[in-house]
Homo-oligomer: A and B are copies of this chain.
């Protein structure tokens, strides 16, 4: 995604009008049921301006009027809601385990989702399979008559921040792939905005963007699967993902936790991934690629060797969380990825370490909100869909 939002830019009257309409739309999206008067107060605009903007957004089908609210002494306000019937967002993810496609509404409600298990394959073959899955989702009756706003695709590797290019996905065996271009040849008719993002960054964005109450000012998503990735998103009402110059931001799997430790596939020693990751657990416990790692370990969890390995991996995960806490200080942390299904044996040591040490510096007793997603199959795909919406609202509205 290429939101150039906080570039220090100038603007004309048309820009101002779009800015105000975006602000209205964002407010109603974030706080369903707001009235025109509420918006005017919060946005520091006059009733007339808001009235005009709302009228346009109603006519264009972005908003719908809802129920009449309780009066607070005078004429009661009319609730405004997103029009959840008119549009559809598509999100997709290529992961090590398979392909995911999700179709959802503006408010993030899932209309239809599909998931197929598939071993990593060449980019072109994968694009073909993904295109087929997307076609199946589009043809679902729930999507009937809806206008497609676009497609977001999430991949497990660093993406160039300025163009849709995947630099490297070691777990897929891909390198320098222009995946959207490939996909476009398979789906020439699919309209709307297309964008590509890293899996953890997309997930982080979606977890924050679709929230409607108690919106944290920043959110860190940690994705613990075959590899370890993360995404940080922050910036108030207009969330911005930190990408870094080469899209490398958040590649925490290769931060060093144990100088002089085991060799990592990246060539360095002691990377976090050598301690906690799907591939490290497979290597340590001798689980073959043909087996499902999590199922196998859940089955073998009585073995002392397995318990110890998970405990050590958990402690490393806790250390990683603490390091991120001290580097980024997010308002909320969400933990996802296939390894969360391992449950207590992995997570308890992680959370214990994080809980015990997160307040060392400030001496407060407040715990950082930390949520664990048990099944994050569609989290990244959903986040990619969220990015489509954010892009659309920002650009047009």
Binding site for B on A (CB under 8 A): 4-13, 15-16, 19-20, 22-24, 26, 43-45, 49, 158, 167-168, 175, 216-218, 234-238, 240, 242-252, 254-259, 266-268, 315-316, 319, 322-331, 357, 360-363
Contact = CB atoms under 8 A, between A and B. Distances in A.
Nearest to A43: B10
A393 to B, nearest CB: 9
A237 B322 contact: no
Contact of A10 (B11, B23, B326, B362): B23
Contacts of A361: 158, 167-168, 248, 251, 254, 266
Contacts of A323: 255-256, 323
B16 A20 contact: no
Contacts of A237: 7-9
A246 B362 contact: yes
A266 B4 CA distance: 40
The copy count of this chain in the complex is 2
Q: Which 8 pairs from chain A and chain B are nearest by CB? A: A244-B329, A8-B237, A248-B329, A8-B238, A10-B23, A255-B323, A10-B43, A266-B360
A380 B266 CA distance: 36
A377 to B, nearest CB: 26
Given A259-B257, A361-B158, A6 B235 contact: yes
Contacts of A236: 4, 6-8
A216 to B, nearest CB: 8
Contacts of A235: 6
Chain A interface, >50% SS class: loop
Contacts of A325: 248
A217 to B, nearest CB: 6
A217 B251 CA distance: 19
A245 B362 contact: no
Contacts of A259: 257-258, 315-316, 319
B20 A10 contact: yes
Contacts of A250: 327
Nearest to A312: B259
A218 B246 contact: no
Nearest to A39: B10
Nearest to A13: B16
B22 A8 contact: yes
Given A6-B240, A12-B44, A257-B257, 14 more contacts: A6-B6, A6-B236, A8-B22, A9-B43, A12-B16, A168-B361, A244-B328, A245-B330, A248-B361, A248-B362, A249-B329, A254-B361, A256-B323, A266-B360
Contacts of A257: 256-257, 259
Which of A5, A49, A331 is packed against the most chain B CB atoms within 10 Å? A5
14 contacts: A7-B237, A7-B238, A8-B238, A9-B237, A12-B45, A158-B362, A167-B361, A217-B245, A246-B329, A248-B362, A254-B361, A256-B322, A259-B319, A268-B360
